[in-house]
Amino acid sequence: MTTARAAAPSSAAGPSRQGAGGGPAAATTDAAPRAPRKDVPRRRPRNAGWLAVLPLIVFVLVVFGLPAFAIVTGAFKTAPGAPGGVHWTTGNLTQSVHGAYLTALWGSVRLSALTAALGVVLGLPLAHAVLTSPLRALREAVLAASGVLANFGGVPLAFAFVATLGNSGELTRALDLTGHGWSLYSFTGLTVVYLYFLVPLMVLTITPALEGLRTQWREAAQNNGATTGQYWIHVALPVLAPSLLGGFVLLFGSAFAAYATAAAIVGSSVPLITLQIANALSGNVLAGQGNVALALSLDMIVIAGAVMALYIPLQRRSARWLH
């Protein structure tokens, strides 16, 4: 009896071991189909992105970094021929914001602000008229012309205006503009010349913002009884305000840095900071004023940097509505 009872568990445990060790249960498990293996994408090394951008970084450092470093260091140093040799000083910066230099700096700011404001006022309706025109060819032609005219400046532009609106220009003689007090070689004349390339630049700048205005906004305003003027005052202009201010900043910076056109037309008759820098570097007025010219350049960098710093947040704010 004892032997039979001991054999029973032994026989019962036998099949269990067989199934676990390599019997039918194990064969069934091995025969089960395996899930297809997915190829894991290889990760690109993190340094690959930096290596691709490295040429651009080197270009920026060489083209912009070295001149900026030379301007900053030169603005705080005396000229090589100054008494006592070359040493650190703040006299160049002090001189750059007094007298004729301050007048020229204020003249550049005033001219840039006026032309930028006029460019915004004239460029907005022109861009809207082009976008709402049913003629696609007209739109493409105006945008292409704006791209060309926005980069047309310097001596060629000055020559074109002298031949057209100068003292002996075609339109000046045909319309007797001189008898009405017109002079191209004045602050007003230079303003008209600057608008020639600032208005097309504004058209290119504000066109994407105008395209972002949704038709549903106009339809909703009309359904609520709003007129076209009310729609522009209460809906369109508030949405476009960041883009308009950004365009003003961009036009201001472009007019503030212009030199060749003003030098070819007005010379020294209109005080501008860029012309004063050229005179100081060439020694037309006083010799040894190169470091003062660097201080004037530093003043321009500070003003332009402060103005352009407003452009980035304005663009981000407009992107919330228009994209």
For residue range 86-130, list pLDDT tens digits in order: 778 888 888 888 888 999 999 999 999 999 999 999 999 999 999
Predicted confidence band of residue 44 (pLDDT cuts 50, 70, 90):
low
Q: Tell me how far CA of residue 322 lies from CA of 211, 214, 238, 295, 316, in angstroms.
A: 8, 8, 12, 41, 10
pLDDT band at 3; cut points 50, 70, 90 = very low
- What are 101's two structure tokens? 């230099």
Q: pLDDT value at position 20?
A: 44
How many Å apart are CA 29 and CA 155, to the nearest integer? 86
Fold of domain 98-322: MetI-like fold (1.10.3720)
Asked whether residue 27 carries a pLDDT value surpassing 60, the answer given is: no
pLDDT of 201 > 90? The answer is yes
Which amino acid belongs to residue 230? Q
Confidence of residue 33 (pLDDT cuts 50, 70, 90): low
Three-state SS at 88: strand
CA separation, residue 216 to residues 86, 213, 220, 302 (Å) = 67, 9, 6, 43
The pLDDT, as a whole number, for residue 12 is 44
Task: Tell me: pLDDT of 313 over 80.
Answer: no
CA angle 124, 128, 134 (to 5 degrees): 160
Which backbone phi and psi does 77 adopt, to 5 degrees? -125, 155
pTM of the model: 0.77
The pLDDT of residue 48: 63
Give the confidence band of 80 by pLDDT, cuts at 50, 70, 90.
confident
Rounded (5°) CA angle 241-244-247: 150
Higher per-residue confidence, 306 vs 200: 200
The mean pLDDT of 278-282, rounded to a whole number, is: 84
pLDDT for res 120: 95
Q: What is the mean pLDDT of residues 242-271?
A: 89
